[in-house]
Amino acid sequence: GAMGAILWIAEKLSKLMSVISGAALTFIMLLTVCDVFLRYFFDRPIIGTFEIVGLGGAVAIGFALPITSWMRGHIFVDFFVVKFPKAVQGLINIITRLVSIGLFYLIGHNLIKYGYDLYKSGEVSLTRQIPFYPVAYGMAVCSFILCLVLICDIIKIFGGQYE
């Protein structure tokens, strides 16, 4: 049904974003290795490596958030909650998910506003002149997809599938 479709979409989007995250991480690792190699052996560093690695790091971390939450790979405090009955555990999990949805919605909303401000001002990185606004918009998308993953957690809790 519709709930299964939402879960499927959230999982596929999370996996796609993890591929983007992995590609960004691989790229910044290769860039760093090449920069160090060229700097050491040929005294020819790659110009703008620091800012590219910074922006790539933001992409690598932001785009990994949804799959990390989907797989519950983040560190969470469970030792206190497991002492309660199942119904209370479910309620606590729902409340924490609702608070998190509110937080990441606000983060995403403000990142869109911030990205638009960066776009209007034409703000770019110092050395390579890379525009900042696409990264802000990308992080906003990550925040909204994380909200979808958290909604899926609530669906799983109600369906008894959340373990």
66-102 pLDDT, tens digit each: 999 988 876 666 777 778 888 888 898 899 999 999 9
CB 10 within 8 A of CB 101: no
Residue 31's CB is within 10 A of a number of other CB atoms, namely 16
pTM equals 0.88
Whats the size of the chain, residue-wise?
A: 163
Give the pLDDT confidence of 144-157 residue by residue, as tens digits.
999 999 999 999 88
- Cα–Cα distance for residue pair 124/6, rounded to 1 Å: 37
- Supply the mean pLDDT for the chain: 92
As given in the structure block, the two tokens for residue 104 are 């990441």
Query: Which has the higher per-residue pLDDT, 4 or 163?
Result: 4
pLDDT at 6 over 80: yes
Q: Would you call 41 exposed, middle or buried from its count of C-beta atoms within 10 A (0-12, 13-18, 19+)?
A: exposed
26-35, 70-79, 115-124, 133-142: the lowest-pLDDT one? 70-79
